[in-house]
Amino acid sequence: MKKLITALALAALSLSASAGGNVDAGKALAEKYSCAACHGKDFNSPIDPSYPKLAGQHKNYLEHALTAYKRGDTPNGRSNAIMTGQVKPLSNQDIKDLAAYLHSLPGTLVVHR
């Protein structure tokens, strides 16, 4: 019985890690799609000041933004030819993985009160 409970607990942890995004898979995707080319090698120093800093950003925000770019120029989407092209092939899990990875990085974003 103890082995069964342990196995179930490990399975639940594995499922929740996948549902919330896998940092290692997200890192591989960021490398595959060359995200650093525009957002900077540390994801804190974009090549253009109008490009966002991604490191340390909230996972929910990143998932929302990537999903909106995937929708493209629609009422609930975002219009940017480069980003739309980059995210079109991504699955929902890919988006969660990328968001988890970028969220895990040390960021330089500042919240003012």
Ordered by start, the domain boundaries in the chain are 21-104
Which is higher by pLDDT, 18 or 78? 78
CA–CA separation, 54 and 28 (whole Å): 16
pTM, whole model, 2 decimals? 0.78
Residue 4 amino acid letter:
L
Which is higher by pLDDT, 93 or 81? 93
Residue 62 main-chain phi, psi, to 5 deg: -60, -45
Q: Kind and range of the H or E element at 13?
A: helix 2-20
Residues 73-102: what's their mean pLDDT? 93
* CATH class of the domain whose range is 21-104: mainly alpha
- Residue 61 has a pLDDT of 95
In this predicted structure, the answer to whether residue 14 has a pLDDT above a threshold of 50 is no
C-alpha 91 chain-centroid distance = 12
Residues 56-60: what's their mean pLDDT? 95
